[in-house]
Amino acid sequence: MKQFFESISKIKYEGPSSTNPFSFKYYNPDEMINGKTMKEHLRFALTYWHTLCGTGGDPFGDGTMQRPWFDMADPMEQAKAKVDACFELMEKLDIDYFTFHDRDVSPEGKTLAETNAMLDEVVDYIEKRMKETGKKLLWGTACLFKHPRFMHGAATSCEADVFAYAAAQVKKAMDVTKRLGGENYVFWGGREGYETLLNTDMKLEEENFARFLKMAADYKKKIAFTGELLIEPKPKEPTKHQYDTDAATVLGFLRKYGLEKEFKLNIEANHATLAGHTFQHEIHLARINGALGSIDANIGDPNLGWDTDQFPTNIYDTTLVMYEVIKNGGLHKGGLNFDAKPRRASFEPEDIFLSYIAGMDTFAKGFKVALKLIEDGVLEKFVEERYSSYKQGIGKEIVSGNVDFEALEKYALENDQIKVKSGRQEMLESILNQYILSK
Ligand code: XUL
Ligand code: CO
């Protein structure tokens, strides 16, 4: 098999005191933790689009990324080279899973039939490489936002022909995902949103979006796809207002259309922060609603208002994310998908490795800290005590649904000298620091 990163050998765990940048300091894939290896707990995934297709281009300048396969003239030769590069990277980084959009892996032809035939040819090759290596597909998805036909949206386009085309594309992408044993299928809203209400029938667009998702859920049953269907919330970019703004909006939408049993959520850090939430908030909300499907592990820049898709290197974030994941009983079919790209100036092939190492180490360390926090019950004990008034007396009556406004008025008139306790936020933040710095 052609090697693209010959100068780099398999990345090994060397521990926190290693000075070798091409080593893991915290990610020790084979370390056993509570009966599973660290690798099995973290379920890292490589993203095809950023890692193999991203050029580093931005609105002000051309691509910068040095990727040997970019020089190949024949698009199908390039597509197969990307497959080889993907499997070489997964092998060398000790990553078991990958994720892709249909159009990441093969080019668009002149007709849909031609496009599908090219996709099949590359998927044959991916399937062969998966069998040889044991690598797995975390999720597949369809790119319903790149081609100009989707300028008004896909399932929410004003053009019915575009709705039909998008349906055909998702059907094919679901077939391919099933064929490759994908554990999930993701719907990110792409251009499902609007720029101005002056030209938008929002009611019809939202209803059509629900119709589209219902057809996808029906098709999943028809082909007996056993993976989870996931929706990935995002509030803006590319459109000014995306319909899948955040976890709460998506959950409300699914419930309105009776789809809440069919879909879970894929939560992305940078999308959470663009929506004005923390990453932990979105994951927590999904978790307490039984809807945490998977995680797009990246980070934004707090000073920028767009989706910078940086590799996650903030230990506070990863600790709190892993705290939620452990409380969720693990990631189940989901994973930690690095929907992240090296910066435009980190253009050398080596930077791919260094970026993944940074993200994987930060999550591995965060996982360890979160385990210790939970093992010691630090936050749990505090939260339990904080809400203890609902365990007895009037609180217990409220929770059991035994009292109404009149009963509560009677109680309040007799008990109006109330003593409240401190929330101790700063103390808890300091304890969190202590765990991150010393555990
Ligand atoms: C876009 C984004 C997508 C989805 C998959 O912001 O996150 O790459 O993860 O379509
Ligand atoms: Co994403």
Task: Answer yes or no: is pLDDT of 18 > 90.
Answer: yes
Tell me which residue has its CA closest to atom 7 in ligand 1: 339
pLDDT tens digits for range 349-389: 999 999 999 999 999 999 999 999 999 999 999 999 999 99
Give the tens place of pLDDT for each residue, 194-237: 999 999 999 999 999 999 999 999 999 999 999 999 999 999 99
CA distances from 419 to 56, 245, 389, 426 (A): 58, 39, 11, 21
Q: CB within 8 A of 405, min separation 6: which ones? A: none
Residue tagged 């100068």 (tokens) = 7
Q: Is the pLDDT of residue 177 over 90?
A: yes
CB atoms within 10 A of CB 397: 15
Which pLDDT score, from 0 to 100, does residue 1 have? Answer: 78
**Cα–Cα distance between 188 and 191 in angstroms, integer?**
9
Burial (CB < 10 A; 0-12, 13-18, 19+), residue 254, is: buried
Give the Cα separation of 87 and 46 in Å (integer).
10
Q: Whose CA is closest to 86, among 76, 77, 95?
A: 95
What is the pLDDT confidence band of residue 112, given thresholds at 50, 70 and 90?
very high
Determine how many CB atoms are found less than 10 A away from the CB of residue 6: 8
The pLDDT of residue 439 is above 90: no
Query: What pLDDT is recorded for position 76?
Result: 98
Q: CB neighbours of 393 closer than 8 A, spacing ≥ 6?
A: none
The number of the ligand 1 atom at minimal distance from the alpha carbon of 271 is 6
Q: Which of 68, 88, 87, 66 is nearest to 78 (CA)?
A: 68
Alpha helices in 13-111 (DSSP H): 38-42, 48, 75-93, 102-105
- Residue 310: strand pairing partners: 299
Tell me the average pLDDT across 95-107: 98
CB of residue 186 inside a 6 A radius of ligand 1: yes
Give pLDDT, residue 2: 86
Assess whether the C-beta atom of 339 lies below 6 angstroms from ligand 1. Answer: yes
Question: Sorting pLDDT into bands at 50, 70 and 90, what band is 303?
Answer: very high
Which of 188, 245, 266, when mutated, tests ligand 1's pocket best, judged by the most ligand atoms within 8 Å of its CB? 188
pLDDT of 348 above 80: yes
Task: Tell me which residue has its CA closest to atom 3 in ligand 1.
Answer: 188
Q: Which residues are catalytic?
A: 101, 104
- Non-local CB neighbours of 234 within 8 Å, separated by 6+ positions: 188, 189, 242, 244, 245, 268, 271, 274, 275, 307
Contact 228, 249 (CB under 8 A): no
Structure tokens given for 16: 């926190």
Q: For residues 104 and 100, what is the distance between their CA atoms, to the nearest angstrom?
A: 6
Mean pLDDT of the chain, nearest integer: 98
- 75 backbone dihedrals φ, ψ, rounded to 5°: -60, -35
Q: CA 244, 246, 252: angle at the middle one, nearest 5?
A: 75
Instruction: Report which protein residue has its CA nearest ligand 1's atom 10.
Output: 188
Token pair in block for residue 361: 């180490």
| Dist. CA 25–CA 148, nearest whole Å | 44
Query: In the structure, what pLDDT confidence band is assigned to residue 263 with cuts at 50, 70 and 90?
Result: very high
In the three-class reduction of DSSP (H, G, I as helix; E, B as strand; rest coil), residue 258 is classed as coil
Residue whose pair of structure tokens reads 């809400």 in the numeric block: 387
Report how far ligand 1's centroid is from the alpha carbon of 188 (Å). 6
- Is residue 268 within 6 Å of ligand 1 at its C-beta? yes
Hey, what amino acid is at 220? K
Q: What is the pLDDT of residue 432?
A: 98
Find the 411 Cα to ligand 2 centroid distance in Å.
50
Judged against a pLDDT cut of 80, whether residue 398 lies above it is answered with: yes
What would the mean pLDDT of 6-29 be, rounded to a whole number? 98
Q: Is 141 in the pocket of ligand 1 (CB under 6 A)?
A: yes
Q: Quick one: CA dihedral 162, 164, 167, 168, positive or negative?
A: negative
Is 244 a pocket residue for ligand 1 (Cβ < 6 Å)?
no
Give the separation between CA 77 and CA 229, rounded to whole angstroms. Answer: 32
142 CB under 6 A from ligand 1? no
The protein residue with its alpha carbon nearest to ligand 1, atom 8, reads 339
Nearest to 345 by CA among 58, 70, 69, 68: 58
What is the rounded CA–CA span in Å between residue 171 and residue 193? Answer: 22
Residue 5 β-bridge partners: none
Return d(Cα 344, Cα 364) in angstroms, integer.
Answer: 26
Q: Which two tokens stand for residue 204?
A: 């019809």
Among 137, 133, 134, which residue's Cα sits nearest to residue 105? 137
**pLDDT exceeding 70 applies to what percent of the chain?**
100
Q: How far is 241 from 234, CA to CA, in rounded Å?
A: 9
Query: Is the CB of 102 inside a 6 Å radius of any atom of ligand 1?
Result: no
Cα–Cα distance between 107 and 87 in angstroms, integer? 19
Contacting residues for 147 by C-beta, under 8 A, at least 6 apart? 108
Span 276-294, average pLDDT? 98
Write out the two tokens for 259: 């789809």
Q: Whose CA is nearest to atom 2 of ligand 1?
A: 188
Ligand 1 binding pocket mutation candidate from 232, 239, 246 (most atoms within 8 A of CB)? 232
Question: With a 6 A CB cut-off, is 317 part of the ligand 1 pocket?
Answer: no
pLDDT at 172 over 90: yes
Q: How many angstroms does the Cα of residue 250 sit away from the middle of ligand 2?
A: 15
* DSSP result, 141-177: E---SSSGGGTT-STT-S-HHHHHHHHHHHHHHHHHH
Asked whether the predicted pLDDT for residue 293 surpasses 80, the reply is yes
